[in-house]
């Protein structure tokens, strides 16, 4: 019964992780299409659970109404930030009046953002179901229940942060926090998947050292990528897409150059993994993901940042992180067995 239950938990956690990746892809589409402010309020959209399809369904002063609504929320947010010592950040939110600038109603962007929120609700329900199912392991495998609970809390926190991403009009650092929280949720789900899979660990201390290096440089590369995204946010309002690359400056140059470090470290890791018994498809999957991430980045560089490649680039990077973390757990399990 225990093995069957863990098998069910494994399938549910894999399905949930796939759904999270879908949400990351949809979130990337929201960013690349400029739909982040398609709904100026949260959790509802223009004050309704089903958003409007035409501007005639909104009051004439809708911009003032929702700007005032977001201003009240930002005052609350600034209080929270001040409470944890981020007074400068709080002051910038309160004094930057561009944050309250309301976009013209666009039904396409509204529904793109609304679909993003619907996918988020579905994932929230899936993670709640995951926690409920994990409750049966509270005595036999407490860690599974605990991690499932932490995942549920993180998803609720992610939704709460998402509300301030909207209220601050997509302030760059809030988007970055939102993205890294998504990586934390991915890691938690990967942990549940690994613990419920009941598969043998891998034994390669040398590969583990290379893996730590690969995970570090990937996270640095993701952070550098957020700098590029912020630079695009700044110039997108002043220049057409076909000249964005000419105005990105050092942020893009550093991100592009660092990709070679990411690539060669992963090649070294894959060489070590191929010599590790039981590594199976890990080497092939990792190299395909890294190549896909780099090629999609090159595609954006050479073809003026096409909108469809931005979410693909982000998705490949987050899937790579998930694979790295799964591999790390499989390698670390050997240490636990040796201690036992």
Residue 101 has a pLDDT of 83
Mean pLDDT of 290-315: 89
Window from 164-178, 196-210, 247-261, 295-309 with minimum mean pLDDT: 196-210
Window from 40-44, 221-225, 255-259, 286-290 with minimum mean pLDDT: 40-44
Residue 261 has a pLDDT of 94
Given a cut of 70, whether residue 333 has pLDDT beyond it is: no
Question: pTM value?
Answer: 0.89
| Distances 8 to 39, 83, 200, 309 between C-alpha atoms, Å | 37, 43, 18, 35
Given a cut of 60, whether residue 1 has pLDDT beyond it is: no
Residue 338 has a pLDDT of 44
Residue 78 has a pLDDT of 92
Mean pLDDT of 218-223: 92
Domain boundaries of the chain, sorted by first residue: 1-198, 200-340
Band of residue 112 on the pLDDT scale cut at 50, 70, 90: very high
The 10s digit of each residue's pLDDT in 53-76 is 999 998 888 888 888 888 898 999
Calculate ∠ Cα 326-329-333, nearest 5°. 145
Residue 330 has a pLDDT of 84
Residue 221 has a pLDDT of 93
Mean pLDDT of 232-238: 76
Residue 332 has a pLDDT of 66
d(CA 102, CA 63): 6
The 10s digit of each residue's pLDDT in 187-217 is 999 999 999 987 777 776 778 888 999 999 9
Residue 278 has a pLDDT of 67
Q: What is the mean pLDDT of the chain?
A: 87
Residue 165 has a pLDDT of 87
Residue 340 has a pLDDT of 43
Band of residue 25 on the pLDDT scale cut at 50, 70, 90: very high
């Amino acid at each position: 019964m225990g093995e069957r239950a863990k098998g069910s938990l494994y399938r549910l956690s894999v399905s949930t992780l796939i759904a999270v990746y879908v949400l990351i892809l949809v979130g990337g589409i929201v960013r690349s299409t400029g739909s982040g402010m398609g709904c100026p309020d949260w959790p509802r959209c223009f004050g309704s659970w089903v958003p409007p399809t035409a501007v005639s369904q909104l009051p004439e002063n809708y911009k003032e109404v929702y700007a005032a609504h977001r201003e009240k929320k930002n005052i609350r947010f600034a209080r929270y930030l001040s409470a944890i010592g981020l007074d400068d950040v709080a002051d910038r939110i309160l004094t930057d009046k561009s944050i309250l600038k309301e976009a013209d109603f666009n039904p396409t962007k509204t529904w793109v953002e609304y679909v993003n929120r619907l996918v988020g609700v579905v994932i929230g329900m899936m993670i709640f179901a995951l926690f409920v199912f994990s409750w049966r392991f509270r005595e036999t495998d407490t860690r599974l229940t605990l991690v499932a609970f932490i995942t549920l809390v993180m998803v609720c926190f992610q939704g709460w942060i998402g509300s301030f991403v909207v209220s601050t009009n997509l302030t760059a650092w809030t988007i970055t926090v939102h993205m890294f929280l998504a990586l934390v949720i991915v890691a938690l789900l990967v942990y549940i998947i690994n613990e419920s899979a009941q598969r043998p660990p891998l034994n390669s201390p040398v590969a583990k050292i290379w893996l730590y290096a690969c995970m570090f440089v990937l996270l640095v590369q993701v952070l550098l990528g957020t700098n590029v995204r912020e630079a695009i946010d700044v110039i997108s309002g002043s220049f057409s897409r076909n000249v964005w690359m000419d105005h990105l400056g050092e942020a893009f140059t550093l991100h592009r150059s660092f990709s070679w470090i990411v690539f060669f470290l992963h090649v070294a890791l894959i060489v070590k993994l191929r010599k590790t018994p039981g590594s199976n498809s890990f080497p092939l999957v990792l190299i395909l993901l890294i190549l896909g991430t780099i090629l999609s980045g090159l595609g954006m560089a050479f073809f003026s940042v096409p909108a469809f490649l931005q979410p693909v680039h982000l998705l490949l990077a987050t899937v790579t992180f998930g694979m790295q973390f799964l591999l790390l757990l499989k390698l670390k399990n050997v240490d636990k067995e040796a201690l036992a």
